[in-house]
Amino acid sequence: MKQRISQVLDGKVDVGSRVTIEGWVRTRRDSKAGLSFIAVHDGSCFEALQVVAPAELPEYVDVVQKITTGCAVRVTGVVVASQGKGQTVEVRGESVEVVGWVDDPESYPMQPKRHTMEYLREVAHLRPRTNVIGAVTRVRHTLAMAVHRFFHDRGFFWIHTPIITANDAEGAGQMFRVSTLDAANPPRTPTGAVDWNQDFFGKQAHLTVSGQLNVETYCLAMSQVYTFGPTFRAENSNTRRHLAEFWMIEPEIAFADLAADAQLAEDFLKSIFAAVLAERKDDLAFFEKFVDPGCQKRLAAMVESKFERMDYGDAVKVLAQSGKTFEFPVSWGMDLQAEHERFLTEEVVKGPIAVINYPKDIKAFYMRLNDDGKTVAAMDVLAPGIGEIIGGSQREERLEVLDARLDEMKLPKADYGWYRDLRRFGSVPHAGFGLGFERAIQYATGVENIRDVIPFPRAPRQAEF
RNA sequence: UCCGGAGUAGCUCAGUGGUAGAGCAGGCGGCUGUUAACCGCCUGGUCGGGGGUUCGAACCCCUCCUCCGGAGCCA
């Protein structure tokens, strides 16, 4: 019977039963005692299965002894207790078939040894066969499923917000243009400007930088909703924390204020990381050993912790009085820098913290103005080792206040017609937040560069594969 | 985009002015219920590209490209 390797190694298949497994070869070791050991993985779990191929097999010389790293194989044999030390069970092969050969072993880029992450990025089509990318892939999947489960269990609806947008108003960063016009020779208006009227959508269009504005519309109908999909930023950011294409999770809750939003963020983070701890012990053990010693402890601590809440004003005071010298001196009104956020979460609180009520001048137009008239109901959730992991806010539900904010920031009201309508027809207090999915994977695994937690990273000057 | 670091064999790296090395991978052989095994031999490089200094450059200078880290922007 055909089995995934995880089933065999987890003891879900009885010793003595005959199985067929299919996968790719990590290593082959021959023994002159008349055996070959073939480590086979199929992605179902971290460990590879050891196949013992005895020399008596008719295909031993022509097939088994020619197997190299990377070959795709189908093996039928009996599950037996292992005589060796590295594993409890193994499969004694009765038939070993190579489904796909590595036609030139010397040129196969994946060697049975440690490669740098930079090198693996150059062979992104084959890197999922490595331990580290395989483990990342399983953790990524587990987190994605945990995200959906968390929201589904609480009655949220998953809203598929558009990827192409003609909103000129999302305002979250530089956008990628979507156009079918001939870039070398676009149609022109009489004044010589590009005539976007003749473009596919009859106006300028871009890839979305956030689904928030769209999802707010469904929030004010379905009460609890979220988006989870690809997002794009055309910023020239060259860091280990930024991608041009990444996945973002943005829940939005109606009849809710900032406190409810912060509570949701806390419950959410704990829930998805608890899922990884429970479901991917094998992969976490690997990250612990080879990537980030302490990552399991950090995750467990996050799941057990109570998130602190701290007012922005208090955070500024704490930083100013800390006696620590910062590259950017702290004063009320400035945005907190990475060094400040790290200090707060790693030195002051020593755990996750939600900083709330930021000065309105450093935050977006849609964030709800507080009664003091100078701060908005915004929050950043900071976590040790990563800094800001979530940004969110209560949204401005009062039309006149929203309009005043638009005017203040010199944003044209005409561009916000449908968004303003939400404040005209049955408006309610509502709130939400955004989480960069890849950042969550980085946090869970300790993988340093964000390009290694997404299958095919897109970044400035990088769109291979 | 700014600051710093790096680019030498398929991979990981050593080599700071005198003509290129190791480990791993690959090939051949040996050995072993092996564990990214171990032992021996062999194969393998226009030293990122271009220009300059010098009798002579992997090494010094200029420039471009690429990658990494930090910052900014942010998620």
Q: How many angstroms is C1' of B40 away from CA of A109? A: 27
Q: Is A10 left (phi over 0), alpha (psi -120 to 50) or beta?
A: alpha
Q: How many angstroms is C1' of B25 away from CA of A438? A: 33
Q: What's the pLDDT tens digit per position in A99-131?
A: 988 877 877 888 877 889 999 998 898 999 999
Q: What's the pLDDT tens digit per position in A210-254?
A: 999 999 999 999 999 999 999 999 999 989 999 999 999 999 999
Measuring from the CA of residue A233 to each C1' atom, give the nucleotide at the shortest distance: B74
Per the document, the length of chain A is 465
- pLDDT of A13 above 90: yes
CB contact at 8 A, A252 and A216? yes
CB contact at 8 A, A128 and A134? yes
Q: Longest C-alpha distance within chain A, in Å?
A: 85
Distance CA A415, CA A66 (A): 66
Q: What is residue A293's predicted lDDT score, i.e. its pLDDT?
A: 86
Q: How many angstroms is C1' of B1 away from CA of A176? A: 18
> What percent of chain A lies above the pLDDT cut of 70?
99
Q: Of the candidates A6, A28, A233, A270, which has an alpha carbon nearest to the alpha carbon of residue A134?
A: A6
The residue whose two tokens read 């090198």 is: A119
The pairing of strands A430-436 and A387-394 is antiparallel
Q: How many angstroms is C1' of B26 away from CA of A69? A: 12
Name the least confident of A138-147, A162-171, A214-223, A228-237.
Answer: A162-171
ipTM, 2 decimals? 0.88
Measuring from the CA of residue A387 to each C1' atom, give the nucleotide at the shortest distance: B75
Q: How many angstroms is C1' of B37 away from CA of A29? A: 8
Which band of pLDDT confidence, cut at 50, 70 and 90, is reported for residue A447?
very high
Distance CA A239, CA A232 (A): 16
* H/E stretch holding A295: helix A295-304
- pLDDT of A188 above 80: yes
How much helix, strand and coil, in percent to the nearest 5, is found in chain A? 35, 25, 40
* H/E stretch holding A283: helix A281-286
Which band of pLDDT confidence, cut at 50, 70 and 90, is reported for residue A326?
confident
Measuring from the CA of residue A115 to each C1' atom, give the nucleotide at the shortest distance: B11
The residue whose two tokens read 């479901």 is: A279
Measuring from the CA of residue A84 to each C1' atom, give the nucleotide at the shortest distance: B33
CB contact at 8 A, A420 and A403? yes
Distance CA A200, CA A108 (A): 44
pTM of the model: 0.94
